[in-house]
């Protein structure tokens, strides 16, 4: 029986795309680069914000200018990460019900650690036991580092845990950490992609997600 549920953040618990897109385009505009559509930016998300910005800048942009763009993005996003970001409808209730039923809950994200902790505290409070993002000590997903750190902190075993996410990065994180995976179809990547990777369980609604988790 599972007793530990670890969630991805962007595209799984939180709809962060509008704020990410606005911040990327602010940085691009400041640098005099062409802006990106929200759809383009969505396709760039999933491997950390530095890679997000690297994918958004024009091809053949120098490393120096890419780093400068990232700095502008980071400063702007730190002030505007909550402008429109909200939990997907029904997810706060899922977290609350999991805690009510005695589950340990956590978030492991490729967003930088300070932002992950800030967003989880603001939106989920005590319904998330621990939140971990990318840092000098934690490599970004699909490295299993974040999952391992959470399992150690929560005193949980791999076989007791499940990782919930919306993207190929999340599927591979679960695979690398040797924990079960449950996909969600409302995020940044299509359901068919998760199925093609080998995901055996994909939830289409938060209610269905809760049912899957509590049956595992």
> Can you give the residue ranges of every domain in the chain?
4-15+86-215, 17-80
The confidence score (pLDDT) of residue 25 equals: 98
Positions in the chain whose pLDDT score sits under 50: none
Fold of the domain built from segment(s) 4-15+86-215 = Rossmann fold (3.40.50)
The confidence score (pLDDT) of residue 169 equals: 95
The confidence score (pLDDT) of residue 46 equals: 81
The confidence score (pLDDT) of residue 97 equals: 97
Distance CA 21, CA 24 (A): 5
Query: Residue 60, Cα to own-chain centre: how many angstroms?
Result: 28
The confidence score (pLDDT) of residue 202 equals: 98
Q: Which residues pair with 162 in a beta bridge?
A: 5, 180
Q: Does residue 8 have an active-site annotation?
A: yes
The confidence score (pLDDT) of residue 179 equals: 98
Distance CA 91, CA 5 (A): 13
Distance CA 213, CA 44 (A): 29
Catalytic residue among 8, 129, 166, 180: 8
The confidence score (pLDDT) of residue 1 equals: 87
The SS3 call for residue 59 is: coil
* Run of H or E residues at 216: none
Q: How many CA atoms lie within 13 A of 7 on its CB side?
A: 31
Fold of the domain built from segment(s) 17-80 = DNA polymerase; domain 1 (1.10.150)
């Amino acid at each position: 029986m599972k007793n530990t549920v670890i969630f991805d953040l962007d595209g799984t618990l939180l709809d962060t795309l509008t704020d990410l897109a606005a911040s990327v385009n602010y940085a691009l505009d400041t640098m005099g680069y062409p802006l990106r559509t929200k759809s383009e930016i969505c396709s760039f998300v999933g491997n950390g914000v530095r890679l997000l910005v690297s994918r958004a800048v024009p091809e053949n942009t120098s490393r120096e200018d890419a780093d400068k763009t990232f700095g502008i993005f980071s400063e702007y996003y730190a002030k505007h990460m909550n402008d429109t970001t909200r939990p997907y409808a029904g997810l706060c209730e899922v977290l609350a019900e999991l805690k009510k039923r005695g589950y340990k809950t956590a978030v492991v994200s490729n967003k930088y650690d300070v932002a992950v902790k800030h967003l989880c505290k603001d939106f989920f409070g005590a319904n998330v036991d621990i939140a971990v993002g990318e840092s000098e000590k934690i490599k970004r997903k699909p490295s299993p580092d974040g999952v391992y750190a959470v399992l150690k902190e929560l005193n949980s075993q791999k076989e007791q845990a499940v990782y919930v996410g919306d993207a190929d990065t999340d599927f591979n994180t679960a695979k690398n950490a040797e924990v079960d995976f449950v996909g969600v179809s409302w995020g940044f990547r299509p359901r068919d992609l998760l199925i093609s990777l080998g995901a055996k369980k994909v939830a289409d609604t938060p209610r269905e997600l809760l049912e899957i988790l509590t049956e595992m």
